[in-house]
Each structure stands twice: as C-alpha cells, then as structure tokens.
Amino acid sequence: MKRAWLLLLAPGCFHYHRDDGAPGLVDLERPPDVPALRAVEPPLPPGQRMLVLDPAFGFVGGGRGLGERARGAASVAVEVAIERGEIDSNDQPLPGRHDHLRLPMTGWGLALGWQAYLQQPWAGPLSLELRRRLGSFLYAGAGPLYQPAGGRPGAVATLALGIFGVRAGYVGAEGAFLCGGLHLSFPVTWVATR
C-alpha cells in the first residue's frame, strides 16, 4: 500500500515542456525607443501557457454551525483541480529552490473537493469551486457545495496562500462554517510557449 501512494505522488510538483512555440516577440510596427541608436532590438520573451492538474489534501480546523449551535470541527480535505493559466516570462523559476515547479501567475480553474470530519457526522460537504489564480501561490475560489448527510445544498469560498488556506461557507440547516489550516498540493504542469 505504501508503494501505491508513492506512485500516485511521484509525478507531482513537476512540469513538462512542449517543444513548440515562438522564439520571441518583436513589434515591427512600433518605432525604436531611440531612433538614432543603430542597435538590434532584443526580442521579448513570448511567455508561456500552462495546464495544471493539481491533486491536494489538507488538514483544517475551525467552527461548524456558527451562531447558537457553534461547535469546533476538525477535518481532512481532499480535492483535485484543473487550471489553465499564463506567465509572461519563460523558464523563470519560482522563488526559492523550486526549479522543478512551474505555476501560472494568472489563470482560471475548477476544483472538486470533499471534507471528512473527525467527529460525528463523518461525511462532510462535496464542493465544486471556480478558482482565479492571482499569483503563483495565491488563489481565490467560490462555488456550490452539497452536504450528503441530509441532502443540503450550500455555498463555499476559499482563499489560499502557499500551503495555508481558509474556507468559509453555509450549509442549509447546519448554518455557517469557517475553517483554516494546511493545504498541500502536488501540481503537475504542462508548459507550452505562447
């Protein structure tokens, strides 16, 4: 069983380059910045388009039934997201020692997730979020959710920065919830030059 988990996580946090694309962008209709200077205008990097498959899991804690029936809650969350995004530079590694990891600076995606509470009732909500990436490690999302226990619909919103995330939502008769914690993802990115 341990080997099966390793095989699932092995492709995570890597990127794959496609070999097509332009060598650079030069605007032939724009006059030179300094016409008297006879120099070659260096091309700007064309940028990259990225498709990201991002499985993730998290450990979150917070409160359920906020209001009169407030109680603490801890849960484990799993999700899988797919995202399409872009970055203006080429082969620029992310800050720190992340040479193998490429993430877009802007993009849109969909995430399907599920939470399991560590106390009764165990089954937490299923969620589908539309996400907007606002930076390599920052995104916000919102969408509907469904609580299988009792068949209640609701809504959820997420804000994540790096490995930390905050979720807030509302589920029918259960009321509002607010939780935060670790959000660990293992993105696999396919990169193509624009």
Tokens of 101: 């990891």
pLDDT in tens, 151-164: 788 899 999 998 89
Residue 14 sits in a domain whose CATH number is 2.40.160
Domain range enclosing 119: 2-193
pLDDT in tens, 52-77: 999 998 898 887 776 667 778 788 88
Which residue, 51, 53, 47, is CA-closest to 13? 53
CB contact at 8 A, 141 and 133: no
**Contact partners, residue 117, CB within 8 Å, separation at least 6:** 64, 73, 74, 75, 123, 124
As for how many domains the chain has, the answer is 1
CB contact at 8 A, 148 and 117: no
pLDDT in tens, 101-137: 778 889 999 999 988 878 776 777 899 999 999 988 8
